[in-house]
Amino acid sequence: MSRQDLTEAGFGELPLLDVPAAPVSVREAARRRRLQGRLLRAGREAVDDGELLELLLSGRRGIADSGELAAALLAVFGTAPRALAARPDRLRSVPGLSDDA
């Protein structure tokens, strides 16, 4: 799905696509590399919904702990696909997710 398709579907503001990555600790960087490697080697089935969301959120400015935010998204939406399909106004209701994230 292209950015234009997403915009036409009502996702005009997609801050996660435009925000530069934040600096991370060596430990966090290593964890991300392991998760990314597992995802690339074995596919989507190799990571759970929380890990997938954590990877997508990791390193974004405004997000102090991508794992914590991933858990909050799952608590609200139940699954990664539902969280990823959520409208921006619903996403703003999730604790820890700001417009800067």
**Interatomic CA distance for residues 82 and 20, integer angstroms:** 24
Res. 1 pLDDT band, cuts 50 70 90: very low
For tokens 């600096």, the residue is 23
**Interatomic CA distance for residues 72 and 96, integer angstroms:** 8
Ranking 45-49, 64-68, 95-99 by mean pLDDT, the lowest is: 95-99
pTM: 0.68
Condensed to tens digits (0 to 9), the pLDDT of residues 13-49 reads: 544 444 455 666 788 888 888 989 998 999 989 999 9
Evaluate if residue 61 carries a pLDDT over 80: no
